[in-house]
Amino acid sequence: MKVTIVDYKSGNISSVINSFKEVAKDKVNIEVTSDLKKITSSDKVVLPGQGSFKSCVDALNKINGLTDTLNEFAIINKRPLLGICVGLQMFADIGYEETETKGLGWISGIVSKIDNQNGKFKLPHIGWNQIDIIKESKIFKDIENNSHMYFVHSYEFIPEDKKVISATIDYSSNIVCSVEKENIFGTQFHPEKSDRIGLKIIDNFINL
């Protein structure tokens, strides 16, 4: 089996690569590439994202044919894809970081700035927070509710269809921190920085 981590030159993804290799051991081939043919021939794809919504979308669009290839992989061929942090946010129709930017449009919704209630809550939201698992999700297999995950973000994904939400956190309001829609999975938190529980989530995705 081949799992591809999409490297589209958006931030440092070394911890994502290292975590997936640690979980995969020698059982699974972990490829790190933006080569369209290699992505197409993968069994599963990981879409990381660091930086702003706009910078990540721009970086994806800079690689000719990449968004079409990802679209074909996840939407047409319905193969498993995991978005991490801004990788999840890009599932939305539109993001409002820096300027209004069109997302991938895979899960209808918007990405807007967390309401920090006039400075009552620090932004970016950095550090560990308890997740509230609100629906059964394949990537939360054997994960206890109220487990702590690691976050770094100032923007939140607000999906139109609340049924896709698999977990939330309480930070200023109820913020979506995980989604699942058929073969598409996304986490606002960083599983690769969330210790052994994060590694278990990666393991669950690899073993889908």
Q: Shortest CA distance to 69 belongs to which of 41, 108, 103, 90?
A: 41
Give per-residue pLDDT as tens, 30-77: 999 999 999 999 999 999 999 999 999 999 999 999 999 999 999 999
Q: Which of 56, 85, 153, 180 is catalytic?
A: 85
Q: In tens digits, what is the pLDDT along the chain, a chain of 208 residues?
A: 999 999 999 888 999 999 999 999 888 999 999 999 999 999 999 999 999 999 999 999 999 999 999 999 999 999 999 999 999 999 999 999 999 999 999 999 999 999 988 888 999 999 999 999 999 999 999 999 999 999 999 999 999 999 999 999 999 899 999 999 999 999 999 999 999 999 999 999 999 9
Q: Which of 97, 156, 180, 192 is catalytic?
A: 192
Q: What SS3 state is found at 104?
A: coil
> 114 vs 2, 172, 176, CA distance in Å?
36, 8, 11
In this structure, are strands 29-33 and 2-6 parallel, antiparallel, or unpaired?
parallel
Cα gap 67→89, rounded to integer Å = 15
Distance of CA 65 to the CA centre of its chain: 21
- Residue given tokens 């206890």 in the structure block: 144
**190 noted as active-site residue:** yes
Q: What's the DSSP call for residue 72?
A: I
Q: Which of 125, 177, 180, 190 is catalytic?
A: 190
> 116 vs 44, 129, 172, CA distance in Å?
36, 16, 6
Give the chain's domains with CATH numbers.
2-206 (3.40.50.880)
CA angle 23, 135, 189 (to 5 degrees): 45
**85 noted as active-site residue:** yes
**192 noted as active-site residue:** yes
In this structure, are strands 44-47 and 101-102 parallel, antiparallel, or unpaired?
unpaired
